[in-house]
Amino acid sequence: MGIAADLAAQPAAVESQYKPKVEFDGRTGFIDSDPHLAGESPAFDELLAKHGLAGQGVRLDPDRPVRISRWQNFAGEWLQADRFYVVAEQPGAVTAERLIAQIVDHPAAHRPAVGGGPAVFNFQASDLQIGKSDNDGTDGIINRYLGSLDRAVEKYRQLRRLNSVGPVHLMFPGDCVEGNQSQNGRNWWRTDLTLTDQIAVFEQLLYTTIEAFSDDTEQLLVDVVNGNHDEAQRFQTTRPGDGWATHAANSVSKGLTRNPAAFGHIEIRTPDPERGYMTVAAGDTVFTIAHGHQWRRGKAMDWWAAQAFHGQNPGAADILVHGHYHTWELETTDKRARIQSSTLDGGSNYYREMYGSEARRGALVYLTQAGDVSDLSLV
């Protein structure tokens, strides 16, 4: 065997490959580029993007120049690798370049992630005032309500296709019937149904609303509180929770217990008889549900703050739900939200004569998850 053959038979040394490194501890570090032909350095911004540092407040260290390493490969080409020394932006430093890079590199997202469990679908209907004769009377109230219910069911099915939706939450924040106690009973002659008929109609609306959702969810919560029109009487003060809306809800609850196979996943909740409001959970969000006659217009947040200050249960709520003022509103702070119902009645001729204003009518639907409100609309 000749010398050439002997040399060819010798084990060849394994050439170690150049491996670019990245080190950054949040304050200082370096980024190595991949090998490239000498004189063709990659752009620094490209390296930041490649290693996930774009928009993270990383810049070249002005006190340490780029280190360049060069070598020749077996093909005779001169290769080069660059080490860029980097530092974090100074605290509070803001540059347009960094912000623009952050915006450009932000990945597209279909929907922001929200912590907690699955979303809850909420249906909020207040101030039906069944029996009120103004304008189109109770016929108009029922037609409006059933139309809102149909649109709410369709909205629920749309949102369920797009989101992880769990329980359905039906809320009736008072003034469900016109009653005969408002204005010291002077409203009584402006009704087209007797009081017992008003209650019977509201009970049937509860059954119909429950049946509209019951087959499409594994948990259905129904919350009802009394409004000032629902009060049973005023000339002798009884309990704060003594009203026709909660009376109807409790009757429906007893009726559902007769068929637990079909309705065992449904829970109807009303306040303690000594309270006119209640604080309850639906999914991972806590609601305080009141009618709204407990405070003057524009003072809901003050009432809520006072309740929290004195250690009452609304202090635990993420959302305050109420009606009474006949126009829908959303008011938010960083951690709290107030959702005010619209009305479903035919309007007040007296109010229109005095002020000319009328309300946009309907029920509200929205999702809640971990205390956040989304997809709010009037239906």
Does residue 95 or residue 150 have the better pLDDT? 150
Crossing angle of the two packed helices 195-214 and 137-162, in degrees rounded to 10: 20
Crossing angle of the two packed helices 195-214 and 244-256, in degrees rounded to 10: 50
Determine the pLDDT at residue 15. Answer: 44
Determine the pLDDT at residue 85. Answer: 85
What distance lies between CA 338 and its chain's CA centroid? 12
Model pLDDT for residues 207-220, shown as the tens digit of each residue: 999 999 999 999 99
- Residues of the chain with pLDDT > 90, as a percent, come to 49
Does residue 53 or residue 205 have the better pLDDT? 205
Q: For tokens 């217009």, what's the residue? A: 297
CA distance 95 to 97: 5
Does residue 10 or residue 313 have the better pLDDT? 313
Determine the pLDDT at residue 377. Answer: 97
Model pLDDT for residues 1-18, shown as the tens digit of each residue: 566 565 455 454 444 455
Determine the pLDDT at residue 4. Answer: 56
Task: Give the CATH H-level superfamily of domain 119-378.
Answer: Metallo-dependent phosphatases (3.60.21.10)
Model pLDDT for residues 80-123, shown as the tens digit of each residue: 777 878 877 765 567 787 677 777 777 765 554 455 568 999 99
CA distance 377 to 114: 20
Model pLDDT for residues 319-334, shown as the tens digit of each residue: 999 999 989 999 999 8
Nearest alpha-carbon partner for 182 in 348, 363, 302: 348
Assign residue 93 a region: left if phi > 0, alpha if psi is -120 to 50, beta otherwise?
A: beta
Nearest alpha-carbon partner for 359 in 377, 347, 350: 347
Average pLDDT over residues 65-89: 75
The 3-class SS string of 50-112 reads: HCCCCCCCEEECCCCCCEEEEEECCCCCEEEEEEEEEEECCCCCCCHHHHHHHHHHCCCCCCC
Model pLDDT for residues 158-175, shown as the tens digit of each residue: 999 988 999 999 999 999
Nearest alpha-carbon partner for 348 in 127, 76, 74, 111: 127
Determine the pLDDT at residue 231. Answer: 86
Model pLDDT for residues 273-299, shown as the tens digit of each residue: 889 999 999 999 999 999 999 999 999
CA distance 249 to 268: 7
Where helices occur in 243-287 by DSSP H, the ranges are 244-256, 260-263
CA distance 374 to 122: 10
CA distance 270 to 65: 72
Tokens of 98: 């960094």
CA distance 24 to 48: 11
Whole-number average pLDDT of the chain: 84
Determine the pLDDT at residue 108. Answer: 63
Indicate the domain borders of the chain: 20-104, 119-378
| 239 — pLDDT class (breaks 50, 70, 90) | confident
Tokens of 152: 């709410």
